[in-house]
């Protein structure tokens, strides 16, 4: 079996007396898309924050290819290949869509986030940026300021920026939340494409059951911060305990 790219060992965080993520041990492999489900407040986003470094664990460890990342900052973890969808605060709103992607490509190439660079290098970086632009179907809005994009295109731009960083681990937290039904399929197609790359590990928090069915290779269930179930989608969906704690609340959202 392929060794895991990402491992959490007894990963735990307490807020005061509340254990939001409770000793979660789980391994994720390249070529696998794992959907994380669970009721509101189950700890899904907090688990992501612990993996990407936005929150520091109370105890337990996060390992990427066997390297302990637990004490590292979010940007250091990003250098190790942990890719969390960019928040809009990371955009340069006044710069164009293409320029934003080019800056992400440039940062990945170790050239920092400065705008002005020698021309030859600039051309090469732009060519790479254009590939991500096409992959995310944003070519038509390439020269618009990022801030002027409609919500659906901004979400696609977040995916483009994430792809430009070439992470090994892709983490998506409800990527279609707040999207109109005509935009959601684009972002889901992108995630499906990323999943086809057997070198990538994808973690997806998703409530919509049709999306879960379409994309999941595996489902894990969090409940009260703890790992309640882990397995093949059919098995997990069919299990009694999951139906009781999760599906009862989620079918409305499907
Ligand atoms: N920074 C924080 N300080 C205190 N409590 C927090 C903090 N972040 C999360 N929590 C608590 O941790 C628990 C898990 O929250 P989390 O946002 O991870 O749930 P979730 O599974 O992502 O829920 P949802 O489906 O609504 O997005 C909740 O009880 C929440 O109030
Ligand atoms: Mg959440």
| 19 C-alpha to ligand 1 centroid (Å) | 10
pLDDT in tens, the chain (254 residues): 889 999 999 999 999 999 999 999 999 999 999 999 999 999 999 999 999 999 999 999 999 999 999 999 998 999 899 998 755 556 788 999 999 999 888 888 776 655 555 666 778 888 999 999 999 999 999 999 999 998 888 888 989 999 998 999 999 999 888 777 777 788 899 999 999 999 999 999 998 888 898 999 999 999 999 999 999 999 998 888 777 776 554 444 44
- Which ligand lies nearest the alpha carbon of 20? 1
| 84 C-alpha to ligand 2 centroid (Å) | 14
Where do the DSSP E strands lie in 141-225?
169-173, 201-205, 218-223
Helix (H) or strand (E) holding 8: strand 6-15
Q: List C-alpha distances in Å: 97 to 32, 131, 180.
A: 30, 13, 21
What pLDDT shows up at residue 240? Answer: 82
* Pocket mutation for ligand 1, best pick of 11, 24, 43, 57 (most atoms within 8 Å of C-beta): 43
What pLDDT shows up at residue 87? Answer: 56
Residue identifier of the C-alpha nearest atom 16 of ligand 1: 43
Q: Cα(239)–Cα(12) distance, rounded to whole angstroms?
A: 25
What pLDDT shows up at residue 220? Answer: 96
Helix (H) or strand (E) holding 156: helix 151-164
96 lines ligand 1 (CB under 6 A): no
40 lines ligand 1 (CB under 6 A): yes
HSE of 159, CA atoms in CB hemisphere, 13 A: 30
What pLDDT shows up at residue 251? Answer: 45
Cα angle value 170/176/179 (rounded, 5°)? 145
Q: DSSP string covering 73-122, please?
A: -HHHHHHTTEEEPPPGGGS-TTSBHHHHHHHHHHHHTT-TT-S---HHHH
| 206 C-alpha to ligand 2 centroid (Å) | 9
- Which ligand lies nearest the alpha carbon of 49? 1
* Pocket mutation for ligand 1, best pick of 15, 171, 223 (most atoms within 8 Å of C-beta): 15
Domains located in the chain, CATH noted: 1-81+173-254 (3.40.50.300), 87-166 (no CATH)
What pLDDT shows up at residue 252? Answer: 44
- Which ligand lies nearest the alpha carbon of 51? 1
Read off the pTM. Answer: 0.90
| 232 C-alpha to ligand 2 centroid (Å) | 22
Contact 173, 10 (CB under 8 A): no
What pLDDT shows up at residue 179? Answer: 78
20 lines ligand 1 (CB under 6 A): yes
State which ligand 1 atom lies nearest to the alpha carbon of 46. Answer: 18
Phi/psi at 109 (nearest 5 deg)?
-75, 5
Burial (0-12, 13-18, 19+ Cβ within 10 Å), 94: exposed
Q: List C-alpha distances in Å: 77 to 42, 128, 139, 144, 169.
A: 24, 23, 30, 31, 11
Residue whose entry in the numeric block shows the structure tokens 């409305």: 252
Q: Cα(80)–Cα(67) distance, rounded to whole angstroms?
A: 9
CB-based contacts of 224-231 (< 8 A; 24+ apart in sequence) = 224/19, 224/22, 224/42, 224/43, 225/19, 225/20, 225/21, 225/22, 225/24, 225/42, 225/43, 225/46, 226/22, 226/23, 226/24, 227/24, 227/25, 227/26, 228/38, 230/26
22 lines ligand 1 (CB under 6 A): no
| 109 C-alpha to ligand 1 centroid (Å) | 35
């Amino acid at each position: 079996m392929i060794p895991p790219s990402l491992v959490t060992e007894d990963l735990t965080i307490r807020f005061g007396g509340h254990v939001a993520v409770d000793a979660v041990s789980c391994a994720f492999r390249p070529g696998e898309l794992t959907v994380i489900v669970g009721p509101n407040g189950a700890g899904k986003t907090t688990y992501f924050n612990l993996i990407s470094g936005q929150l520091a664990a109370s105890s337990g460890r996060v390992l990427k290819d066997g390297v302990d990342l637990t004490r590292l900052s979010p940007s250091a973890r990003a250098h190790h290949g942990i890719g969390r969808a960019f928040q809009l605060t990371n955009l340069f709103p006044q710069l164009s869509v293409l320029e934003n992607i080019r800056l992400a490509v440039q940062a990945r190439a170790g050239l920092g986030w400065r705008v002005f660079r020698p021309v030859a290098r600039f051309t090469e970086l732009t060519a790479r940026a254009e590939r991500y632009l096409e992959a995310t179907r944003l070519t038509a809005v390439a020269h618009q300021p990022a801030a002027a994009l409609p919500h659906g295109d901004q979400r696609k731009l977040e995916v483009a920026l994430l792809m430009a960083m070439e992470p090994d681990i892709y983490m998506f937290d409800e990527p279609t939340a707040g999207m109109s039904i005509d935009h959601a399929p684009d972002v889901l197609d992108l995630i499906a494409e990323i999943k086809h790359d057997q070198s990538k590990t994808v973690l997806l928090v998703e409530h919509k059951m049709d999306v879960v069915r379409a994309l999941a290779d595996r489902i894990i269930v969090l409940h009260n911060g703890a790992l309640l179930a882990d397995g093949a989608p059919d098995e997990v969906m069919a299990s009694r305990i999951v139906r009781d704690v999760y599906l009862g609340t989620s079918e409305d959202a499907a």
